[in-house]
Chain A
Amino acid sequence: MKFLMIIMTSVLVNNYVLSRFLGICPFLGVSKKLNQATGMGIAVTFVMLLATSVTWPIQTYLLDRFNLGYLQTIVFILVIAALVQFVEIVLKKYLPALHASLGIYLPLITTNCAVLGVTINNIRDGYTFAESMVSSLGCGIGFLFAMVLFSGVRSRLEDAEPPRAFEGLPITLIAAAITSLSLFGFSGVATGLFGG
């Protein structure tokens, strides 16, 4: 039940992109086409899961144990960067098909604040390992969900003719505001359903 609540919360209520403002760059940059948005969303989910599975044990068994908590930021960003590089090399060598579809997105994710954000949040929320993994999965799905939703909105936006000053990014941001408004309606759903 707790797992279900974590997923529900991280996908709908505290969606990383649309209500916590993490990972805005890829959200605005790669959401023009549905296939790219989906690819990016899946790659982010994959890296979030992978990063959490490494950073959680590091935090618990290394940093906390030796009172090195203050090194969290440095260690996490390095681990994520190294991990992404490593995964890219492994995929290229052994799973070229997967690399062809996800590979281009992987280097983008190294400095994505959603990935670093989810690993740090898991620690701050005091989740166990299983809960952290579920929360990462939920955040990843939430990201994918937001990307897919928004790429649909953007394909309509292409044909629109906003005032000159609003062309490009401003009108995209205003569309994002309306998209995020649609998730606004879910606030309170998780606590209402699960009595958290």
Chain B
Amino acid sequence: MTKIQNFLKGLVKENPVLVLILGTCPTLATTTSILNALGMGVAATIVLLCSNMAISALRNVIPDKVRIPCYIVLIAGFVTAVELLLHAFVPSLYDSLGIYLALIVVNCIILGRAEMYASKHGVIDSAIDGLGMGCGFILALFAMSFVREVFGAGSFCGIEIPFLSRYCIPILAKTPGGFLVFGCLIALVNAISKGKAIKKKEFGCAGCPSAATCGKLSCADDAQVKEEAAK
């Protein structure tokens, strides 16, 4: 895989949000306005890039048994740095993102990429992977927030759109709209990829660091269903 392909896979083929279904919480919570969503995306991308590079550089030093706690400490460090930077230079964004900024720590995309990619590949490849995944995250957040802000609030980046603002659908910008738009976007991706994206997995727990246990639960479920079907 060339470096360009490595970068592009994060954007489309393995888009972390719409195909791998990671990082659902920030995707739903911060996409009420386009500026918030972009801020969240950029903050998470910076953390992802830094953590991917650091983890890949340290991959031979970190003992296998305690790798998850090590990753979490590294990631939390970068998140704190980003938090402090935003607080100092972009206080308005810091206020509007609020708690979701600190919660980048538990964003599955970052831990997931650390576990799935950075712990097995070199520094440069990991950096490209992190950048690609980050851009994919930004892209997905932008698509979500675009629908929610333009049709929900009738504005674009805070600027009112003359005709739409009179006929907007406020529910899209509210909580239920988040679930609705997200569901429709994933369905759209499924439709465009002609079912290829569905096949991958029903719910993308696989990328989550706790997949081992979570997987057991859903796998046990599937096995049961299969048994029942066999009967």
Contacts and interface: CB of A to CB of B under 8 A. Distances in A.
Interface of A: 18-25, 28-30, 32-33, 36, 70-74, 77-78, 81, 104, 107-108, 110-113, 116-117, 120-121, 124, 163-174, 176-178, 180-181, 184
B177 interface: yes
Contacts of B84: 70
12 contacts: A25-B108, A25-B205, A71-B80, A73-B79, A77-B72, A78-B76, A165-B188, A167-B198, A173-B182, A174-B183, A181-B171, A184-B174
Given A32-B221, A166-B187, A180-B179, A116 B105 contact: yes
Interface stretch (B124-132, B146-154, B161-169, B209-217): B209-217
Contacts of B178: 21, 177
| Central interface residue in B25, B99, B105, B216, by most chain A CB within 10 Å | B25
Given A19-B175, A113-B106, A173-B182, A120 B99 contact: yes
Kindly list the 10 A-B residue pairs having the minimum CB-CB distance in the complex, ordered from nearest.
A173-B183, A177-B179, A165-B191, A170-B187, A21-B29, A177-B180, A74-B76, A21-B28, A174-B183, A165-B190
Nearest to B204: A169
Contact of A78 (B29, B69, B111, B171): B69
A120 B221 contact: no
B216 to A, nearest CB: 7
Interface majority SS on B: helix, strand, loop or mixed? helix
Contacts of A33: 221
Contacts, number: 150
Contact of A111 (B29, B77, B106, B171): B106
Contacts of A104: 213, 216-217
A107 B24 contact: no
A171 B205 contact: no
A179 B77 CA distance: 37
B91 interface: no
Given A24-B25, A33-B221, A169-B203, A184 B102 contact: no
